[in-house]
Amino acid sequence: MQMRIEASDLPGRACGPDTDFPGFTDIHVGVQRKDRPGELLGPHPGDAASATWTLECTAAPGAEGGIEVAGPYIQNRLGGRFVYLSWGTVDEAGTFTMFRRAKLMFADIDPDVLAAAARTGHLVGRLGLTDAKGQPLCGRVRPPRIVWSATDGS
């Protein structure tokens, strides 16, 4: 199965300090590889018009029912499977230093949508990446903030 994450409304390359946010410059966002916080798929600058990532996954019937998704970018911790969108800065040498993450939980996907995606081979999540304070979106991202759909891949 392919999972595509389509992001819009990125917060910008620099975000100033706030009461609970120290502020950063040269901000980028990418999908974190499982158990490797420093390894990202497709880092995009925070001022990009949009960002898209395509993850190769497997989808199989789960031991407790439903669909179990796995792959190199699917985290599997207590509480379930999820994808991390990692925010960080990039220095002059190109080194990415993470400062926050958004968590896209498979448990938050409607089971019928996930089952349909397993049949069609395509799952799409669409979301904006700027929070209410104008900062990079972080924490658990739940519908309606993210909209999940099964597609035919076209």
Asked if residue 147 lies in contact with residue 110, where contact means CB atoms within 8 angstroms, the answer is: no
DSSP secondary structure letter of residue 103 = E
pLDDT in tens, 83-101: 999 999 999 999 999 999 9
131: left (phi over 0), alpha (psi -120 to 50) or beta: beta
Element (H or E) spanning 27, and its range?
Answer: strand 27-33
Phi then psi for residue 28, to 5 deg, are: -135, 160
Segment 122-150, tens digit of pLDDT: 999 999 999 998 999 999 999 999 999 99
How much is the pTM?
Answer: 0.94
pLDDT in tens, 3-48: 999 999 999 999 888 777 788 999 999 999 999 988 999 999 999 9
